[in-house]
Structure 1
Amino acid sequence: MKDTHKLLAAFVACILLGVGIGLIYVKYQNTLAQWFLPKPHVYETSDSALASRLETNRPVDVQWSQLLPANEKSVLEKYQQKQASTPTEFADNILLSLEATSDDDYSAAMVSTNSVDTFDNQSVSIAGFIVPIDYNKDKSLSNIFIVPYFGACLHFPPPPPNQIIFSQLGQGFSDFEITQAYRLNGVLRRGLFEDPLGTSAYILDVVSIEPYYEDPDDFRQH
């Protein structure tokens, strides 16, 4: 009888352990992927001087919120919508959206080209999604926008210009999936680039690109 109880206890423990591991995996699968999956470079510049600059100056990890001027970040944060699960919360989000449309500071922040000089002309590493602008004759990407969340500029209104980065790739980039996030390493500088898809307030001279498996956006709530 005791052996039966031990077997039953062991069986229950195994089930609970399996459930626990499953829950951890579901919650942290992107983080685990970022830690353990291979991240080979899918693009590398042919500009040896630019590549040498990153070898000499270790890139600083940059978050998207760090590219916003403090006053504009504060205004945008004010109207961040929370995940709604009840009718009251949905109603609160609707009221928040209506309030935002009548706030001149919010409207200005949404189209602001103001930038920060913290990382100007510095070696940086930033994760985001790639939005194609132009293609080469071989269908590889030549000019791109880098944005903090999937669908920006394509399926949704573009982010503010100071949340968009433009890059002109030195050579084609064909190993590309639009739903995949990437980490881009290079030299960041302030500068405007305008296109029908959107306007960017920053330019990145890209040295390398690699897959990224976590959520790049540290600012918006999705």
Structure 2
Amino acid sequence: MRRLPLLLLVLVATLARAELPETDWLDLLPPEDRQALEDMPEISHDTPEADGNFAAKGGLKQGQDMPPVMYSSHTVAALNGKRLRLGGYPVPLETDAKGRSTLFFLVPYPGACIHVPPPPPNQIVLVRYPKGIRLDDIYNPLWVSGALKVEKVSNDLADAAYALDAQQVRLVEDSDMP
């Protein structure tokens, strides 16, 4: 009879360490946006920003001459409230007194704040993480876990169609790679 509680404790401890399943960025796109991105023509990167000249605010905001899908805030309603794990790259917005990032955008590719074109709003997630994480290099990918919300967010830097109140944020490690 003593073995049952011990087995139960081991199971609970194992489940507590288990991570949520990984969600692919493409899963954040409704089918029509996914198809539109696949069908999109080549985009020119010949802009002042591509050369590192950032005179204007809004480094993640879209220019006015992009295909409509690049401005899309269309979301997948079934993801609202879903607990998931998303891998991506941080664009820091706010830090705490100890220099840890507590608010940042998560984007699907590194350097989205300086590359042209930036992702569409439905490929940008605002992450709230009051516990904070030290981000020494924005080119180091992160795993972010928590409940995703369909939530439109707009600030001077970017527009996002999703937000996530993170329960866990950690750097991707070599052992995470297949």
- The two structures have a TM-score, normalised by structure 2, of 0.69
* Structure 2 residue 29 is the aligned partner of structure 1 residue 68: yes
Supply the AA of the counterpart residue of 2:150.
R
Out of 95, 107, 110, the position equivalent to 2:67 is: 107
The residue number in structure 1 matching 2:107 is 147
Deviation, 1:137, is 3.0
Could you say which structure has the greater relative contact order, defined with CA pairs below 8 angstroms and 6 or more residues apart? 1
CA-based RMSD: 2.5
**What CA distance in whole angstroms lies between the structure 1 residues aligned with 2:125 and 2:37?**
19
Q: Does 1:205 align with 2:152?
A: no
1:7 is matched with which residue? Answer: none
Counterpart code for 1:61: E
Instruction: Report SS of the residue matched to 2:67.
Output: helix
The verdict on how the C-alpha distance between 1:75 and 1:213 changes in structure 2, with shifts beyond 3 A counting, is farther
Equivalent position to 1:127, from 59, 65, 87: 87
Aligned residues: 139
* SS state at 1:118 partner: helix
Give the Cα separation in 2 of the matches to 1:208 and 1:168: 10
Any gaps of 5 or more consecutive residues in structure 2?
Answer: 1-14, 45-65
Q: How far does residue 135 in structure 1 lie from its aligned partner after superposition?
A: 2.0
Q: CA deviation at 1:72?
A: 1.1
Higher alpha-carbon deviation: 182-191 or 205-214 = 205-214
Matches of residues 83-98 of structure 1 in structure 2 within 5 Å? 96-97=42-43
Deviation, structure 1 residue 213: 5.3
Structure label with greater radius of gyration:
1
Once the two structures are TM-superposed, the CA of residue 136 in structure 1 deviates from its matched residue by 2.2
1:74 Cα deviation from its structure 2 partner: 0.6
Structure with the larger helix share: 1
Tell me the CA shift for residue 174 of structure 1: 1.7
State the alpha-carbon separation in 2 of the partners of residues 176 and 208 from structure 1: 18
**Is 1:192 the equivalent of 2:129?**
no
Q: Is 1:59 aligned with 2:11?
A: no
Which AA in structure 2 matches 1:74? Answer: Q
1:169 aligns with 2:146: no
Superposition misfits of 4+ residues, deviation over 6 angstroms: none
Aligned pair in 2 of structure 1 residues 123, 75: CA closer, same or farther (>3 Å)?
same
- Report if the CA contact (8 A) 1:158-1:197 is conserved: no
Question: How far apart in 2 are the matches of 1:154 and 1:200?
Answer: 17
Return 5+ residue gaps in structure 1 as ranges: 1-53, 81-95, 99-105, 215-222
